[in-house]
Structures are given as C-alpha cells and as structure tokens.
Amino acid sequence: MRFTLLRVQNFRNYPLLEIRPSPGTTVLYGANGAGKTNVLEAMHLLSLGRSHRTAADREMIAQGEEVALVRGEALRRDGKHEVEVRLYPFDKPQKRVLLYDKPAERIADMMGHITCVMFSPEDIRLIRDGPAARRRFMDMQISQIRPSYLRALRTYLTALESRNALLKAHRISPMTDFETQLDTWDEQLIRAALPVAENRRWFLLELAVNAADQYASISEAPGEVFTLRYQGALANCESPRRAMEEGLKRTRGEDVQRLFTSFGPHRDDIQMLLGGKDLKSFGSQGQIRTAVLSMKLGEIALIEHEMEERPALLLDDVFSELDVRRRNALIKATRSVQTFLTCTDRQDAAGAHADIFLHVSQDGDGCANVRKE
C-alpha cells in the first residue's frame, strides 16, 4: 500500500497542504515545532481514525476554525482507496468519515483502507507506561489488520459499561431483580469477550515471533532473547468461555463492593521479557529502544503476511535517537516500503535514500509552509 495523495485543511498549523508523495522515501525536515509531526499525525488519523498523541480530536483543529479536513488517497493491490476525515469543534458527531466521498455509517468502516506503522520517540511509553497503553497498542494494530475486531471490541466495552452501571445503580437504589439482571449482563459480556481475547492472542503470537527475529538481528548480544507474552484472564485457557464464566462468578462479590468489573479482557496486558527478565524493570535505555524498534519492524512483517501488502512507514524524528546499528536496521526496513521520515536537520536522514526532501517552516502567524527542495 502507498499514499498517492495527502491533503489537509485547517489541521493543526496547516491552513492548507497537499502532498503527492513518491513510492519511496519522503523526508520532512525543519525546526522543532514547525509542523513536521502534524503531517504524520494526519496520515495516522486516516489509518486508525485517531491521533497517535492526543485523545482530544478538537486539538487537531486549527484555532478559530469550524472544521478541519484530512483526505488521503492510497493505491492498494485492489485499486484506489479514498478516505476523508472531517473534525468539528462543537458539532455532534465531532468526527465524520467519508469513503469515496460518501459518508461512512461507522468510523470503524474506515479500517483497512489505509494502513501504516508509526515509530516515534514516545513509543518508549509502550514499555514504561501501564497496561492501558499496551492494550491500546494491541487494539489499534489489530483493528487496521482485521477491521471486524474494532466492532467486537466496542461490543465488549459497551457490555462492560452497562454491567458497571448496574453495579453502581444497585448501590444507590437496591433492586429486587439485581442478580437476574447481572446474570443477563454477564452472559453478554462473556459472548463479547471471546472474539476480543481470540484476536489479541493471535496478534501477540504472530508479533512475538517477528519481534524476536528483529531483535536478534539488531542486537549484538545473542543471549538477549526478546519475548512477548499475552497476559490476561483468557490468555492461556483451553475453554475461554468457561474461564470467563467462572471468573465473573468468582469475583461477583468483589465487583458488587467495588462497583466495577474486575475480571475480563479489559484488564489484559503484554509481558515483555529480555533474557527472561522483565524489560521494564531491568532493561537499559538502549535495550528498550531496540525492543520497541523490533516490535515496529515486526508489525510490518505481520501486516504484510496478513494483508499481502506492506503498510506505509511513518518515522517521527527517530534517526537522531538511534545509534548506527539500530539506524541501519531501520534504513534496511524502509527500502521496501513507502516511508515518511521527519528530522530537524537534513543530514539526519543521510543514508535513507530519500526521493523527496520537504522543508517545513513557519511564517509570522505560526502557519506551516512546506517547500520542496
């Protein structure tokens, strides 16, 4: 897959921008804060329906504007794909998606039209932060590979929210049929949990193999075996349905007291080990960077195997963060995928074999300007 067009309007500090990238590598360089990352953010939005750095869509709309537009056109094996996202600061819904210039029924319908893998310095948070960051990573990547997963996940989260609401309502005003209602929501939660856990298990089994191979090729320490493991209520059980049933029954008393559901895929995590030791606790900065890079490169291989074509690769100011060995590994990965790379100095992209260099700067009003060089 490759982008053939990116057009944004009133997005961040871009009043208007249109890029027709090459199939190879495009480098955007310029001072920090000029607007380079905003271009990659727009591509990420077209792929996954959300920003990689904020949960508030309103932040992506230029100040004082009534709508922001982001449009992408991509060429895939089955032909041309057109996706447009419109963001509104006050209207409802605040985010609307168009596919081939026609409104999509659901935002989830955009999944699978444009695929990308993004690597940025903030990705270290994937290891340093808590389980929620790692669940978000799983959910976002699985959704663009298997679009039906997002619908399954939303079904589960809706059932979870309803069960939690019942627990809270019963505390305020006790219900005579509370146990019956809870049994009903338990059954819905069980059914919804199974496809979520099944897809996460598949994803991590595949990614673990790819990431371990990538780590071995980048690292100079043969004993540093990188391992990913799915951790969760349904991760390693022969009968996920029975495990979910028994888990909800076992924790029901605790849930009634705490007013939230304590058992299920919403508590999942990814265990990351290096040489059998917890990476978060014992890994050095260099080892953590190598692990994250290995996961990102492993994603490319996974997407290619599952979708039979490679995604676009978005690299946000990462070359300056990597040593020569890791930088070379990343450059090697860019040779067979369409790549967008940001850096502060054009020389930071030396060796990347770029086809296009775009200089990003700001005018006196803070608006971004992009000039081809």
| Number of domains within the chain | 2
Identify whether 120 is part of a domain. Answer: no
The verdict on 147 and 225 lying in the same domain is yes
Are 127 and 286 spatial neighbours (Cβ–Cβ below 8 Å)? no
The answer to whether the beta carbons of residues 53 and 5 sit under 8 Å apart is no
Measured from the Cβ of residue 172, the count of other Cβ atoms closer than 10 Å reads 7
Same domain? 142 vs 276: yes
Residues contacting residue 71 through CB under 8 Å, at least 6 positions apart: 5, 6, 7, 8, 46, 82, 83, 84, 85
Mean pLDDT of 48-61: 91
- Position 95 in a domain: yes
**How many C-beta neighbours within 10 Å does residue 178 have?**
14
Is the bond into 15 cis (omega within 30 degrees of 0)? no
Question: Distance between CA 115 and CA 142 in Å, rounded?
Answer: 11
Give pLDDT tens digits for 56-67: 899 999 999 999
Is residue 121 a part of any domain in this protein?
Answer: no
Nearest-angstrom CA–CA distance, 290 and 220: 11
Give one word for 354, left, alpha or beta, with left for phi > 0 and alpha for psi -120 to 50: beta
**CATH number of the domain within which 50 lies:** 3.40.50.300
- 279 in helix, strand or coil? helix
Q: Which of 248, 281, 306 is a domain's end point?
A: 306
- Cα–Cα dist 115/132, whole Å: 23
In terms of domains, do 172 and 234 share one? Answer: yes
Q: Which range is least confidently modeled, 40-54, 105-119, 211-225, 232-246?
A: 211-225
Pairing of the two strands 312-316 and 339-343: parallel
Question: 180 and 223 share a domain?
Answer: yes
- pLDDT, greater one: 82 or 333: 82
Q: Are residues 4 and 57 in the same domain?
A: yes
Q: Domain of 347?
A: 1-115+311-373
* Rounded CA separation 314/40 (Å): 6
Q: Is the pLDDT of residue 337 over 80?
A: yes
3-state helix, strand, coil in the chain (%, to 5): 45, 25, 30
pLDDT one-digit tens code per residue, 278-332: 999 999 888 898 899 899 999 999 999 999 999 999 999 887 777 887 888 888 8
pLDDT at position 296: 92
Q: Last residue of some domain: 282, 306, 330?
A: 306
Is pLDDT of 223 > 90?
no
Q: What is the pLDDT of residues 145-165, one digit of tens each?
A: 998 999 999 999 999 999 999
Domain end marker among 306, 327, 362: 306
CATH code of the domain containing 175: 1.20.1050.90
Is residue 124 included in any domain, yes or no? no
The pLDDT of residue 304 is 93
**What percent of the chain stands above pLDDT 70?**
100
CA distance 215 to 217: 5
Residues 105 and 169 both lie in one domain:
no
Q: Which token pair is 221?
A: 């320490």
| Rounded Cα distance, 190 and 234, in Å | 11
Asked whether residue 283 falls in the same domain as residue 134, the answer is yes
Q: 350 and 299 in one domain? A: no
- Same domain assignment for residues 152 and 8: no
Nearest to 326 by CA among 126, 121, 141: 121
Q: Is 367 left (phi over 0), alpha (psi -120 to 50) or beta?
A: beta
Report if residue 296 sits inside a domain: yes
Shared domain for 84 and 185, answered yes or no, is: no
Amino acid found at 250: R
3 and 101: one domain? Answer: yes
Is the confidence at residue 220, as pLDDT, over 80?
no
CA distance to 1, 3, 73, 83, 183, per residue, from 79 (Å):
10, 12, 10, 13, 48
C-alpha 267/C-alpha 262 separation (Å) is 8
Is residue 122 assigned to a domain? no
Q: Is residue 283 part of a domain?
A: yes
Q: Do 135 and 268 meet the contact criterion of CB atoms below 8 Å apart?
A: yes
Q: Is residue 73 part of a domain?
A: yes
- Identify whether the C-beta of residue 88 lies closer than 8 Å to the C-beta of residue 65: no
Rounded-to-integer distance, Cα 174 and Cα 66, Å: 46
Q: Same domain for 293 and 198?
A: yes
Query: Cα–Cα distance between 63 and 332 in angstroms, integer?
Result: 40
